[in-house]
Chains A and B, each alone.
Chain A
């Protein structure tokens, strides 16, 4: 019996040490996500965009995706159906009717909004996605196991997957031209835009600029900067002349997407106290009930 009890304590001790090790390792291995105050942002002014889709072309070229000649992008029939980013294109432009000006449709460029509190970063089982200092949410192929939980988590439905690849399929999403930014260049789509529909700068300046534009021309815009608060804030923010619902922006609320799930996760594993309390409780019950069973047998 004594032997057993000592074993019992020893085992618990070892498990405890293992858990302590777990904690420190986690700090090292956790994804290098940073929410920098100086992160960059982009203001997309949908009232300026003319739907030339040069950004789509430049994006494909930049990311080594199959790129049709630029002449083909003049074909406006693609606007008949709503398109979404997929394995072949990380950004697409969709066109919507403009009730106040039938001749000037509203064009909306769609790509990853680079959330301040990204659901995909929180969800990723191996921490393959991270929020970088410049604001970019970047996917790392070396860690990814392609479980597609990021796609389940993303409220904007951005990550795409190579379903027809058997070996080493990728998750694809806009990376804010992370490699270009390291060389001090601005994203390819913004660089090529002929009408400057997008403005690149520090996020706090971008937000300021957005409100300035609304104040200057209150008839041109609705008083809403999409992405300022949505999903806890995004790096890319939008201005529009009509409600964002009508432009197929999803209703996501203003709470960061990972909020609830992370607080549950952290409550269950608060310093590993709940699991060990349960372990100790069950151990106690086991010990007591064993003694009961033994004494019953003796009598």
Chain B
């Protein structure tokens, strides 16, 4: 290895003009949330008996889970396949996934009518329900993500425990506990990493099963028995583009040099996954002969067309081009398109495709409040991400000291 990349907390001012704007956006969302909790869901959403699910389930939950797929795809690449070359991107992807799932959980809590009973699926089980499967897997996987993140916390504090005043007496004890934790974790971490990949495959696909039970209420372009497979394939396909997208934005915002080489090599994996997804998507509408719905021009057919062409075909062509993969702008734009495609796919599945048996007036369109909360959550996520990379060693920067090559080394022992 000729360059020594080491994860380091980034030291930079937290508040910038851009950050202030993001804080305002987040605050706006939180204000609408307050209304929701004081006066009920009907007070600030456009949901009703005809459209029980809307933007929050489509974007905060379904798209949120899909776009956090970078966590398990990079874990599979780096830890399961042992592609050591990519280690620099695993931690940022892990942090994104961890925060992403946290906000998925917030999204669920906000959307259900009785948020304080969100723990019920742990006690009352229904094995027939796809939603139960999603709920349990998401809760378990979120725990796994937090466990996977723990070594980063111990690494940050081992050898640096220095609490003020009275607490200073506990310094040695905390230090000792951290070392025990670190040692234990390093021995069992592989089990959690594999579990994380398995759990992801399970609930990414089960999210697709969710709408199958809606049967004829869902537009035939999207309603297919292979929905779980399509959801899984698209989640895998969007994993690396999300890592590329987020890494480039983070390095730009934090004034770091982009990890161009690694991202460019990572981008070679995208086209095959995207290609497989496209093949199944096209194969599905051909075999079920639902392409006939594309001959009529309406919002539904246009959105399907945009989702597939701009969200899959165009970025697939871009990722196949060597020149695009070598260019930072190229992989950024291509990745953004894949993300857009998956986001639109989830919106289409949960909102566009859904037609109630009886329409009692207006077709659902998200309210200002719903949009504000969703955008506010994204803003909060960005703020937390920024805070985390400043506190914890997440992003790798070129470093003089080479670290031990053994993967589960005992932190702080070399000093």
Q: Does A70 count as interface, using CB distance less than 8 angstroms?
A: no
Interface segment among A145-153, A188-196, A205-213, A221-229: the answer is: A145-153
Interfacial chain A residues near B16, Cβ < 8 Å:
none
Interface residues of B in 64-108 (CB under 8 A from A): 76, 79-82, 84, 108
Q: Does B171 count as interface, using CB distance less than 8 angstroms?
A: no
Interfacial chain B residues near A285, Cβ < 8 Å:
80-81
Q: Does B212 count as interface, using CB distance less than 8 angstroms?
A: yes
- CB-contact partner of A293 in B82, B117, B126, under 8 A: B82
Interface residues of B in 34-73 (CB under 8 A from A): 36-43, 45, 47-50, 52-53
Q: Does A253 count as interface, using CB distance less than 8 angstroms?
A: yes
Q: Does A201 count as interface, using CB distance less than 8 angstroms?
A: no
**Closest Cβ–Cβ distance, residue B129 to chain A (whole Å):** 5
For the A-B complex, the count of residue pairs with Cβ-Cβ distances under 8 Å equals: 211
- Beta-carbon contact of B112 and A147 below 8 Å: yes
- Beta-carbon contact of A279 and B205 below 8 Å: no
Q: Given contacts A8-B190, A127-B124, A143-B120, is CB(A289)–CB(B209) below 8 Å?
A: no
- Beta-carbon contact of B121 and A265 below 8 Å: no
- CB-contact partner of A26 in B112, B125, B193, B213, under 8 A: B125
Interfacial chain B residues near A143, Cβ < 8 Å:
120, 124
Interfacial chain B residues near A146, Cβ < 8 Å:
112-114, 117
Q: How far is the CA of A197 from the CA of B240 in the complex (A)?
A: 62
Q: Does B225 count as interface, using CB distance less than 8 angstroms?
A: yes
Q: How far is the CA of A264 from the CA of B210 in the complex (A)?
A: 11
Interfacial chain A residues near B213, Cβ < 8 Å:
119, 122-123, 152-153, 257-258, 260-261
Number of A residues near B (Cβ < 8 Å) is 73
- Beta-carbon contact of A163 and B48 below 8 Å: yes
Interfacial chain B residues near A292, Cβ < 8 Å:
82
- Beta-carbon contact of A30 and B209 below 8 Å: no
Interface residues of A in 144-178 (CB under 8 A from B): 144-149, 151-153, 155-157, 159-166, 168-169
Number of B residues near A (Cβ < 8 Å) is 72
Q: Given contacts A31-B126, A285-B81, is CB(A7)–CB(B188) below 8 Å?
A: yes
* Mask of B106-137 contacts with A, CB within 8 angstroms, 1/0: 00100111100110110111111111110100
Q: How far is the CA of A285 from the CA of B79 in the complex (A)?
A: 10
Q: Given contacts A126-B132, A157-B49, A160-B49, is CB(A144)–CB(B114) below 8 Å?
A: yes
Interface segment among B157-165, B195-203, B254-262, B282-290: the answer is: B195-203
Q: How far is the CA of A163 from the CA of B225 in the complex (A)?
A: 32
- Beta-carbon contact of A155 and B124 below 8 Å: no
- CB-contact partner of B358 in A84, A164, A260, under 8 A: A84
Interfacial chain B residues near A11, Cβ < 8 Å:
188, 191
Q: Does A48 count as interface, using CB distance less than 8 angstroms?
A: no
- Beta-carbon contact of A268 and B49 below 8 Å: no
Residue in B closest to A12 when the chains form the complex, CB atoms = B191
Interfacial chain A residues near B52, Cβ < 8 Å:
148-149, 151-152, 161
Q: Does A185 count as interface, using CB distance less than 8 angstroms?
A: no
Interfacial chain B residues near A169, Cβ < 8 Å:
40-41, 113-114
Q: Does B398 count as interface, using CB distance less than 8 angstroms?
A: no
- Beta-carbon contact of A125 and B53 below 8 Å: no
Q: Given contacts A155-B215, A285-B81, is CB(A165)–CB(B40) below 8 Å?
A: yes
Q: Given contacts A145-B118, A264-B212, A265-B127, is CB(A164)–CB(B39) below 8 Å?
A: yes
Q: Does B374 count as interface, using CB distance less than 8 angstroms?
A: no
Question: Can you sample 21 A-B contacts with CB below 8 Å?
Answer: A7-B188, A30-B126, A82-B360, A123-B129, A123-B213, A125-B126, A143-B124, A146-B114, A157-B356, A161-B113, A261-B209, A265-B129, A265-B206, A268-B205, A268-B206, A282-B80, A282-B197, A285-B81, A286-B82, A289-B81, A289-B82
Contacts A124-B129, A152-B217 given; 13 further ones with Cβ under 8 A? A7-B187, A119-B215, A125-B120, A147-B108, A152-B214, A159-B49, A164-B39, A164-B40, A169-B40, A253-B216, A264-B130, A279-B198, A290-B82
Top 3 A-B pairs ranked by shortest CB distance?
A146-B113, A163-B42, A127-B126
